Chains A and B, each alone.
Chain A
Amino acid sequence: MTIRHHPSTETLAAYASGALDLGRQIVVASHVERCPACRGFVRGLEKVAGVMLEDLLPAPMSSDALARTLARIDREPPAQAEATPVLPASDEPALPACLRPYEMGRWRWVGPGVQMRPIILPETDKLRVFLLKGAPGIRLPQHSHEGTELTSILSGSYHHEGGDFLAGDFEEADDNVEHRPTVGKEAACICLVALEGQLKLSGFIGALLNPFVRL
């Protein structure tokens, strides 16, 4: 499988440096997990960051910092086999590993042939992260965004004016983009999406749906 659409270099750099918020970090991680090229780049950036960390002018720690940390270590329970989180049986095949730590809401109907399932993050003020599932061949309502949208295609495919997006691909759209994706006919398409701001649906169907689609 060849991955053709990747996060921008800037996005990968922000990911590697920890500058992304948690929601975007997760969506980029889901791509990096399955993309050897991006993983190689991120790994290289982490090496650079390790060197930069070594070279930083140290900021002196508070005087009791080490003592306090050692005291916390003393209070640690003795090492035990790492508890593997018990995962609720998932109805989705092979969700990316980066989603494992997070709870998910239920699938919700958002439109004909379209469902979404929120990922519950400790902090989701401006940003929403969710799985989006489109039925085979469905044409999603035309929409635009108030902010950026990151999409990682987990399974299936969709296409729009910007090209064909298959499982493993990644799409970054900003508020200038207005597109109308169509899901591939062969299978449902499941994406992991981080969305900033509201999704605005346009067109007749969109106008009908907008009040209901609170993505």
Chain B
Amino acid sequence: MDGKPLAALDYAQLIAAVAKHQDRGAFSALFDHFAPRIKAYLMRAGAGEALADELAQEALLAVWRKADTFDGARATAATWIFTIARNLRTDRFRKEWRHVPVGDDLPDTIDQAMSPDESLSDAERGERVRDALRLLPPEQVKVIELSFFEDQPHAEIARTLGIPLGTVKSRIRIAMTKLRDLVSDLS
């Protein structure tokens, strides 16, 4: 199955297989797909390559351990795995990397917050988000991405994009307000 991306729905099933049968094949497929993306996310957020690699492994280890808490009716596999990586980022990212075992030591605000998304598949739910984002002008999606995924101060975003700082701030404000309307339609 390497190389070919699985449908998002299958990732949810793989997590279920890990939860039910400690299925290492399913885990390896999840690892191959998500670990490099989490690594990319962490590197964009400012982690060095070695740290991002370690943390991505740590995130997938947490996926293994917490698989039984995943509820496919509430979140897509990608969203759930993102929140795991995000919590690791908050917890560890600014510290020097140490081999500390992952404990369930972070407040998991997400699980309680999720409400069932009826019968939509992961892929369909992902498409709805993409559709919503398409309603935003590209330059606004860009500032959201930069401020959201990368730990860049606004001044640096201004340099990256070659626009004045004030423009960055107003663009982020406008984009976030629009995003707010869009995502409240999603939930």
Contact = CB atoms under 8 A, between A and B. Distances in A.
Contacts of B60: 69
A54 B35 contact: no
A115 B46 CA distance: 38
Given A53-B81, A54-B8, A59-B36, A47 B107 contact: no
Interface stretch (A26-34, A106-114, A172-180, A200-208): A26-34
Contacts of B28: 66, 70
A75 B22 CA distance: 14
Contact of A101 (B53, B90, B106, B172): B106
B176 A18 contact: no
Contacts of B149: 17, 49, 52
Nearest to B35: A61
Interface residues of A, number: 55
Interface string B24-63: 1001100110111111110111000100110011001100
A187 interface: no
B87 interface: yes
B43 to A, nearest CB: 6
A58 interface: yes
Nearest to A21: B94
B118 to A, nearest CB: 14
B39 A51 contact: no
A123 interface: yes
A interface: dominant SS: helix
Given A53-B82, A54-B126, A69-B60, A13 B187 contact: no
A65 B86 contact: no
Contacts, number: 184
Contacts of B78: 50-51, 53-54
Nearest to B64: A73
A97 interface: yes
Contact of A46 (B79, B177, B180, B184): B79
Interface in B64-121: 64-65, 75-76, 78-83, 85-87, 89-91, 93-95, 104-107, 109-110, 112-115
B183 A48 contact: yes
B32 A66 contact: yes
B109 A58 contact: no
Contacts of B107: 26, 29, 97-101
A59 B94 CA distance: 20
Contact of B45 (A18, A26, A32): A18
B151 interface: yes
Contacts of A39: 109, 113
Given A59-B36, A59-B52, A70-B28, A49 B82 contact: yes
B179 A56 contact: no
A3 interface: no
Nearest to B38: A53
Given A53-B38, A59-B43, A82 B82 contact: no
B36 to A, nearest CB: 3
21 contacts: A10-B172, A13-B179, A25-B90, A29-B109, A33-B109, A39-B113, A40-B184, A40-B187, A43-B115, A44-B187, A46-B82, A47-B186, A50-B79, A50-B81, A50-B82, A53-B38, A59-B43, A61-B39, A65-B31, A65-B57, A72-B57
Interface of B: 8, 22, 24, 27-28, 31-32, 34-41, 43-45, 49, 52-53, 56-57, 60-61, 64-65, 75-76, 78-83, 85-87, 89-91, 93-95, 104-107, 109-110, 112-115, 125-126, 129-130, 132-133, 144-145, 147-149, 151, 172-173, 176-177, 179-180, 182-184, 186-187
Interface of A: 9-10, 13, 16-22, 25-26, 29, 32-33, 39-54, 56-62, 65-66, 68-70, 72-73, 76, 79, 82, 97-101, 122-123
